[in-house]
Amino acid sequence: MKINPALICVVVIAGLSVALAKSCSNASSLQSDNDVLRSDNALQGQVIATQAFNFNRFNQVAEQANRLNSLVDTSTEETVIEYREILRREKTCDMPVPADIAGGLYEYAYRLRSSAMHTYTDGIDAANDRSATASSITYCQAVLWIKPLLAVIEKGNNNLMGIRQIELERKK
């Protein structure tokens, strides 16, 4: 049996055509996948840049609030020292605040402190299973509480102002 060279040529050309079609299809598919990946990378780059900007801005606002709060602390310490000097000369400084008022103040302070603390649920502290006993407080001690308490409020307001600023900038 004699093999026709034209037939071999047609079979080879057909095989090469099929291979070329598959190669073009694969190249087109790879190009499409490459375009999708480039688009995804560009979007991820934008998201990362936005997050980096936001983190930087948040850190700046937090740093500003911390600086303001440090100034508040310094001012408060100076004022308390000044008040102590003034009160040291007062003759009525050791007069006690009425027990009901002192007890209410201490109870309120303990309640605020305990609401800020994490609860310990693994067991009961047997040494501290009773309510706090009310202590006496003098008028001078009450006066010395005022400035630090107002400073805590001011520091909280500074922190809230920073949060409001961040929220306004995020909405832009």
Maximum C-alpha span of the chain: 134
Given a cut of 50, whether residue 139 has pLDDT beyond it is yes
In a domain, 24, yes or no: no
In a domain, 38, yes or no: no
In a domain, 151, yes or no: yes
The 10s digit of each residue's pLDDT in 57-104 is 899 999 999 999 999 999 999 999 999 999 988 888 889 989 998 888
In a domain, 45, yes or no: no
Tell me the whole-structure pTM to 2 decimals: 0.61
Residue 14: CA atoms inside 13 Å, Cβ hemisphere, count? 6
Q: Into how many domains does the chain fold?
A: 1
Given a cut of 70, whether residue 106 has pLDDT beyond it is yes
In a domain, 37, yes or no: no
Q: 168 is in which domain, residue-wise? A: 53-118+132-172
In a domain, 87, yes or no: yes
Band of residue 122 on the pLDDT scale cut at 50, 70, 90: low
In a domain, 63, yes or no: yes
In a domain, 33, yes or no: no
Nearest to 60 by CA among 172, 157, 169, 171: 169
State how far the Cα of 121 lies from the Cα of 93, in Å rounded to an integer. 43
